[in-house]
Amino acid sequence: MDHPIDLLVIGGGTAGIVGSKTAAQLGARTVLVEAHRTGGDCLWTGCVPSKTILSAAARAAQARETDGSEPDFAQVRQRVSDTIATIEPEDSPEALERAGVSVLHGHARFTGPGEAEIDGRPVRFRRALIATGSAPAVPSIPGLDAAQTATSDTVWDLTSLPARMVVLGGGPIACELGQAFARLGSQVTILARSGLLPKEDRDAAALVQASLERDGVQVIDEDEASVIRQAPVRQGDASQNPPVSLITTSAGRELKAEVILIATGRTPRTASLGLEHLGVDLDERGQVLVDDSMRTSNRSVWAAGDVTTHPKFTHLAGVHASTAASNAVLGLRRSISQTVPRITYTSPEVAAVGLTEATGPGMTTSTVSLEDTDRAVTEESREGFVRLVIDRRGRILGGTIVGPRAGESLGELSLAVAQKMTTRQLAGVTHAYPTYNDALWNAAIVHARQALGSPVVKTLTRGLAAVARYRDNHATREQTRAPERAGSEDQTEARTEDQARSDAPDRAQGDRAQRSA
């Protein structure tokens, strides 16, 4: 390569794909380097297979309830690989080439300012985008190395359903995969050091825990594996008797598992990137530090996706990479949005954006339960709620939605948060009936009505009503005088009394409305 590349993108996951396509679209000479396979975690080992296995597991649970049948694990695995195969062409090297991106296969590392090598071959670049993602973090627990373990990278390679699975961790991976394997028929124990979904609303996490327990999952809170041993191997065919791990916890519990699923967070892939040659600053966990325009401490290098300190979601990887790439190519300093929606796809789903609790002065929450939401009543799925966090001016700062298809309602809430909408504005938008979204709408209405009951607003409304009454009375008097300019005063007074009487029901209605608010 004689000329330096305009934008060198390292990593072909969501961040690398979106970043390189954006740059190519803007006319930049863009090269994407991928060491393994384009599509990254989301396609091969993350979002796509996990949402597929959850769907297969939900069906399996339903079938078990209906006719007592047990799922065929081979068919579930087939469904997972079919789904990946259907989506894969969108993320393929061919699709990238069609979009104007040159794709190189190999491991890239930086060797100096504006210089890198790909499997030893040198390349020069003007600007670079680091999009190398993250890998499962493996805790150091004595005996873990010798145990039959899986991570989100390898769990998809299991050829048979483990009879017992112990899951280490309590985040989204532990909850989603724990529920999926339990519904498929494994006896699952989740060992969650800091409880389930510690970053989410506590009531939401409690509903997920209750649902997991109904699926037969044992959830052990505030405890962790301290040592792991292998049970003595029994005589006979190894496939009939797979090795069993004995897990001793800090609290002295003894657990047995054919497979230990490690879901204890992520490690950024920065170790062998040669970032020291570029002066790119990392945090203490090795994640790349970026500013609001996704630029690193090196002015020619940007980063996006799981490799950065930002939350680890596909949509964020894509949006941040798009901002990073256009800033890099066009020399802009556009900032990323601070609105971060997220969904945990358990049953019930937990969807959240922005603030999930009232943490500042004057903030309040408005909560509506699915118990009172007619669509949930008709579908007999009344477990869940919507909780909005609202500032003193009525602006929606964030919230949590829990229940069936909660994720599908999150778009509206994200829009409200991103656009700094008030509950009054959201309440003013007519929603079709009956939908799960009614809960979100009602949470906004409840708050907006409460605001109408404040002393200032009450005084204002009374003032407006008095002016309207005065105008009506005045107009009536004028009408009365016109045909009978010389008419008797008695008649006018009689009409005014009539008018006063006809006002009464309106006032009563107003009172009723105020009482119901």
Ligand X SMILES: NC(=O)c1ccc[n+]([C@@H]2O[C@H](COP(=O)([O-])OP(=O)(O)OC[C@H]3O[C@@H](n4cnc5c(N)ncnc54)[C@H](O)[C@@H]3O)[C@@H](O)[C@H]2O)c1
Ligand Y SMILES: Cc1cc2nc3c(=O)[nH]c(=O)nc-3n(C[C@H](O)[C@H](O)[C@H](O)COP(=O)(O)OP(=O)(O)OC[C@H]3O[C@@H](n4cnc5c(N)ncnc54)[C@H](O)[C@@H]3O)c2cc1C
Looking at residue 517, what DSSP letter applies? Answer: -
CA dist., res. 437 & res. 406, Å (int): 9
CA dist., res. 29 & res. 195, Å (int): 48
CA dist., res. 345 & res. 50, Å (int): 9
Quote the least distance from Cβ 80 to ligand X, whole Å: 15
Residues 456-515 touching ligand Y, rule: CB under 6 A, are: none
The residues pairing with 221 across neighbouring beta strands, listed in sequence order, are 192
Of the candidate residues 59, 64, 79, 107, the single one contacting ligand Y (CB under 6 A) = 107
**Which partner from the list ligand Y, ligand X, none does 34 bind, CB cut-off 5 to 8 Å by kind?**
ligand Y
Of the candidate residues 7, 28, 131, 275, the single one contacting ligand Y (CB under 6 A) = 131
Residue found under tokens 């799981």? 306
Annotated binding site for NAD(+): 169-176, 265
**Which partner from the list ligand Y, ligand X, none does 11 bind, CB cut-off 5 to 8 Å by kind?**
ligand Y
Binding part of the chain for ligand Y, among 81-89, 128-136, 324-332, 424-432 by CB under 6 A, reads: 128-136
30 sits in which H/E element: strand 30-34
Residue 243: asked if its preceding bond is cis (omega within 30°), the reply is: no
**CB closer to ligand X, 224 vs 258:** 224
Of the candidate residues 132, 189, 347, 373, the single one contacting ligand Y (CB under 6 A) = 132
Of the candidate residues 9, 15, 23, 60, the single one contacting ligand Y (CB under 6 A) = 15
Binding part of the chain for ligand Y, among 38-46, 294-302, 465-473, 507-515 by CB under 6 A, reads: 38-46
Quote the least distance from Cβ 198 to ligand X, whole Å: 5
Going by C-alpha positions, the residue among 316, 277, 281, 276 that lies closest to residue 295 is 281
- Based on the shown chain and the rule CB under 6 A, indicate whether residue 315 belongs to the binding site for ligand Y: yes
Within 10 Å of residue 162's Cβ, how many Cβ atoms?
A: 23
Of the candidate residues 108, 182, 247, 397, the single one contacting ligand Y (CB under 6 A) = 108
For the chain, percent helix, then strand, then coil, each to nearest 5? 40, 20, 35
Q: At a CB cut-off of 8 Å and minimum separation 6, what does 334 contact?
A: 293, 323, 326, 327
* Structural contact between residues 60 and 72, judged by C-beta atoms closer than 8 angstroms: no
Annotated binding site for FAD: 51, 132-134, 306
**CB closer to ligand Y, 205 vs 451:** 205
- Based on the shown chain and the rule CB under 6 A, indicate whether residue 376 belongs to the binding site for ligand Y: no
- Based on the shown chain and the rule CB under 6 A, indicate whether residue 200 belongs to the binding site for ligand Y: no
Return residues touching ligand X (CB under 6 A): 139, 168-174, 176, 191-194, 198, 224, 263-266, 311-313, 342-345
Quote the least distance from Cβ 19 to ligand Y, whole Å: 9
* Structural contact between residues 122 and 5, judged by C-beta atoms closer than 8 angstroms: no
Q: At a CB cut-off of 8 Å and minimum separation 6, what does 412 contact?
A: 437, 440
* Structural contact between residues 403 and 349, judged by C-beta atoms closer than 8 angstroms: yes
- Based on the shown chain and the rule CB under 6 A, indicate whether residue 346 belongs to the binding site for ligand Y: no
* Structural contact between residues 276 and 298, judged by C-beta atoms closer than 8 angstroms: no
**Which partner from the list ligand X, ligand Y, none does 171 bind, CB cut-off 5 to 8 Å by kind?**
ligand X
Residues that bind ligand Y (CB under 6 A): 10-16, 33-36, 40-42, 45-47, 50-51, 107-108, 131-133, 152, 173, 269, 273, 305-307, 312-315, 317, 345
